Amino acid sequence: MAAKRTGEKYEAIIDAAVRVIAQFGYHQAQVSKIAREAKVADGTIYLYFKNKDDVLISLFNEKMGAFISDVERALSAVPSPEDQLKELVRLHFEYLEGDHELAIVTQIELRQSNPEVRRQIGLIVKKYYDVIDQLLRSGIEKGSFAEDFDVRTARYMIFGTIDETVTSWIMNDCKYSLMGQVEPILRLFLKGISR
Amino acid sequence: MAAKRTGEKYEAIIDAAVRVIAQFGYHQAQVSKIAREAKVADGTIYLYFKNKDDVLISLFNEKMGAFISDVERALSAVPSPEDQLKELVRLHFEYLEGDHELAIVTQIELRQSNPEVRRQIGLIVKKYYDVIDQLLRSGIEKGSFAEDFDVRTARYMIFGTIDETVTSWIMNDCKYSLMGQVEPILRLFLKGISR
Amino acid sequence: MAAKRTGEKYEAIIDAAVRVIAQFGYHQAQVSKIAREAKVADGTIYLYFKNKDDVLISLFNEKMGAFISDVERALSAVPSPEDQLKELVRLHFEYLEGDHELAIVTQIELRQSNPEVRRQIGLIVKKYYDVIDQLLRSGIEKGSFAEDFDVRTARYMIFGTIDETVTSWIMNDCKYSLMGQVEPILRLFLKGISR
Amino acid sequence: MAAKRTGEKYEAIIDAAVRVIAQFGYHQAQVSKIAREAKVADGTIYLYFKNKDDVLISLFNEKMGAFISDVERALSAVPSPEDQLKELVRLHFEYLEGDHELAIVTQIELRQSNPEVRRQIGLIVKKYYDVIDQLLRSGIEKGSFAEDFDVRTARYMIFGTIDETVTSWIMNDCKYSLMGQVEPILRLFLKGISR
DNA sequence: TATGAATGAGCTTTCATTCAT
DNA sequence: CATGAATGAAAGCTCATTCAT
């Protein structure tokens, strides 16, 4: 009854969901299509997930969770707040550029999902917000960043800019490299929040 | 046969759609519910709109079109690029803070709509991008803004930040005033793009 | 309130109905389309007809009524039963070949109409059956036709054959002349029912 | 995804469709009514058929296909063309008299269906035309039938007469036996087409 | 564990008809 | 007489979820 949260089928289903949603779009990603792509029966999905929403939420949770861990690990290895910010932007772009399907799914398709899924996604993204906020606060403490800006406002800028940049990149069919945007964006950020 | 694109019923239906979508959410905004709210028969909607999608696209077009016109008019009355940017942010916030329901609909709910509607919405938002780009280019020409940043990148920052700020405000139930965010955001922007 | 059964608009509406049904088919012949073709307002149709069914029934009645009168008149001018039968087949074909649109409407499209319309059409066709039956009975009395066949059965043959011939002709886009079929059909009939 | 074309539910749905259409008429034969009659859920119909049209086309195809096979088998067992024609008329009447509901559906109700369904039905009936044409040609070759008539014209007579006879029988509530009509009709046919 | 056939609730759109002008 | 804007009932189809095997 309770859904298993591991196993190779668990992962197969999540990966199938990413592929199907990326290829057909959120509104054409039926459970049966995901099951077929994962080479399992429709009913099998309900052995590993509570319902379709749970597949989508788990998908986001797995992918975003791994990303956030990577970011946290990377930031802890970098002492300077400026370099930390650069690392965050770089990793964000690298992660999505390395998996176009995932980029499409998390950036475009999953945003059309129903209220419950978006609520859960919001809770997960919240952790990423915390990472950014922490980075900013630490930078202010260390004297790298100015004290005259509101952390939350700066986080809106950082996340909003990154998000808009990625969305725009996808809308343009990922036909240029995101990595080239790291430096320009960073320059704007640092000028904006530096002393 | 052809849908009439004006008349008091036309406006009544669009306004009803805003209210219904704001209150019940995109997925619970049935045509019959919108019709009831507009105090017209279901079929009457199809005298003024081609189909349900057309209602949503028209809604966005009317509201966003009016907003963009307002912004363009306001910007032309302000000489300094710095003040123009401030005016843009201020108007954006003022417009949405002045109509919470519209804010919810355009910022949250309509983003869950089907591909065709989102495609049309994208075309309309494109015009707003152009306004921002124009503002930035003119500021660079006049020497107010630095020359070492990419206009598109700066636009990602400006639009992305504004968008994220508004989304966050709505997610927090609009319980503080957006206007208080104008100055802090602007300071980040101007430090970022000034010479 | 009571529908006027004459007037130039009455005829204009019936003729418009024939053209619209012939061009667009029964299922795409909406009242508003017929009104537009007749250059009257939708509501005007209801000044001349009780409802849409009444338009269709009146259409059939007018056209078939005129045809039956023509046939009766023609038959009375011909003494020999054999020649009468020939005249009936000839007139039937001539009438429909002379008005392809009417042929399509009465032969194909109106047969898809609802039960009430078809019931009324049946009553009108009944008169044509009577003309055929009378022709046959008179031919038997005069000794032209054999006595060993049932009149009703022969009428099934005559009407069924004519009907099938016309339907087939329309299905083949009226691309040959019906008149060429008069002699062959008549030969079969006469051999079948002659002494 | 692809509709299953066999199984006991497949047959149950087709049989339910015959009963519902016969009882309520084509225009009152909703999918949900057919489903209820077949004791399946509405959605189950779409596991076995592409859409409602497909139910109707399949219905006609199954019934008419079986009938045509029966006729072909029977004719091949009869050497004389005259007896073959008799067998064809007899089987036609026997088949419909043995299933009044099917007679009503194929003879009356399905003729009101939409253009696509009627087009498909036409293709199926075409095979029956071929059987008749073949019978006639073979009779001419064997010297049983005259050579001075057109096969197509004779087929119009044979099919048209049979069709008209059955329609008339149904319109009179099937209150007499069709079998009694076999001999009279056949006499007319044979006199008409014999040497 | 795994299957996949079966379920059934839910919604957009059309169009004949009316009636205030 | 004539108009045409407004009405509102009615139905085919999809797809997440279940459960007997």
B145 secondary structure, DSSP code: B
Residue B21 in this model has a pLDDT that exceeds 60: yes
Shortest CA distance to A81 belongs to which of A126, A137, A130, A129? Answer: A137
Of C153, C160, C161, the CB nearest to D184: C153
Residues in chain D: 195
Distance from CA(D53) to C1'(E7), angstroms, rounded: 22
Ranges of residues in chain C with a pLDDT under 50 are 1
- Whether the per-residue pLDDT at D157 is higher than 90: the answer is yes
D149–C165 C-beta distance less than 8 A:
no
The pLDDT of residue B3: 75
pLDDT tens, residue by residue, A158-194: 999 999 999 999 999 999 999 999 999 999 998 877 6
**Chain B residues within an 8 Å CB radius of A25:** 115
Tokens of A89: 């932007």
User: Which residues of chain C are at the D interface, by a Cβ-Cβ cutoff of 8 Å?
Assistant: 25, 27, 111-115, 118, 122, 148-150, 152-154, 156-157, 159-165, 168, 171, 181, 184-185, 187-189, 191-194
Task: Check pLDDT > 70 for residue D173.
Answer: yes
D149–C184 C-beta distance less than 8 A = yes
**pLDDT tens-digit readout, A13-50:** 999 999 999 999 999 999 999 999 999 999 999 999 99
- Tell me what the mean pLDDT of segment A82-101 comes to: 97
Which residue from A minimizes the CA distance to B148? Answer: A184
Query: What's the CA gap between A41 and A38, in Å, rounded?
Result: 9
* Å between A113 CA and nearest CA of chain B: 6
Residue bearing the bigger pLDDT, A141 or D3? A141
d(CA D176, CA D172): 8
Which pLDDT belongs to residue A6? 79
Structure confidence by residue, pLDDT tens digits, C16-36? 999 999 999 999 999 999 999
| Best mutation target, D23, D161, D183, D189, to test chain C (most C CBs within 10 A) | D161
Using CA atoms, how far residue D51 sits from C26, C125, D38, D57, in Å, is 22, 35, 16, 10
In percent, how much of chain C has pLDDT > 70?
A: 97
C30: left (phi over 0), alpha (psi -120 to 50) or beta: beta
Quickly give B18 CA vs E12 C1' distance in Å.
19
pLDDT at A3: 67
**SS3 of C51, please?**
coil
DSSP calls for D144-180: SB-SSS-HHHHHHHHHHHHHHHHHHHHHTTT-S-GGG
Predicted local confidence at residue D69, as pLDDT:
97
Locate A179 and state its tokens.
């990595």
Torsions phi, psi for C110 (to 5 deg): -65, -15
Q: Cα distance from C129 to chain D (closest Cα, Å)?
A: 11
List of C residues 30-89 with CB within 7 A of strand E: 30-32, 42-43, 46, 51-53
The 10 Å CB-count burial string (b at 16+, else e) for A148-169 is: ebbbbbbbbbbbbbbbbbbbbb
How far, in Å, is the CA of D157 from the C1' of nucleotide F13? 43
A172 by Cβ neighbours in 10 Å (0-12 / 13-18 / 19+) ranks as exposed
Q: Is the CB of B42 under 7 A from strand E?
A: yes
| Beta carbons within 8 Å of D9's beta carbon, 6+ residues apart | D38, D40, D44, D47, D48
The pLDDT value given to residue A195: 61
Domains within chain D, CATH numbers bracketed: 56-193 (1.10.357.10)
CA distance to partner chain B, nearest, from residue A26 (Å)? 9
The Cα of C138 is separated from the nearest Cα of chain D by a number of Å equal to 18
**pLDDT digits 0-9 by tens, A98-146:** 999 999 999 999 999 999 999 999 999 999 999 999 999 999 999 999 9
Q: What is the mean pLDDT of chain B?
A: 94
CA angle, D187 then D189 then D194, to 5°: 95
pLDDT at B78: 96
Q: What is the DSSP letter of A69?
A: H
Chain A CA closest to residue B157: A161
Quote the pLDDT of residue D53: 96
Mutate to test the interface with A, among B153, B165, B193 (most CBs of A within 10 A): B153
Distance CA C5, CA C117 (A): 18
Specify the range with the lowest mean pLDDT, choosing from A54-58, D53-57, D101-105, D114-118. D114-118
Say if residues B189 and B85 touch (Cβ distance below 8 Å): yes
B6 pLDDT more than 90: no
Contacts of D23 in chain C (CB under 8 A): none
- Here the tokens at position D41 are 């859920």
Task: State the residue for tokens 């409802």.
Answer: C51
If you measure CA to C1', which residue is closest to nucleotide F3? C41
Q: Search chain A and give the residue with CA nearest B163.
A: A160
- Reported confidence tier of residue D152, pLDDT bands at 50, 70, 90: very high
Instruction: Characterise D114 by phi-psi region: left (phi > 0), alpha (psi -120 to 50), beta (else).
Output: beta
pLDDT, one tens digit per residue, over B97-155 is 999 999 999 999 999 999 999 999 999 999 999 999 999 999 999 999 998 889 999 99
Measured CA to C1', the nucleotide nearest A36 is E4
Mean pLDDT of chain D, nearest integer: 94
- Does residue A16 contact residue A34 with C-beta atoms inside 8 Å? yes
Q: Cβ of residue D115 near strand E, that is under 7 Å?
A: no
pLDDT > 90: what percent of chain D? 91
- Would you place residue D1 in the very low, low, confident or very high pLDDT band (cuts 50, 70, 90)? low
Q: What is the pLDDT of residue A193?
A: 72
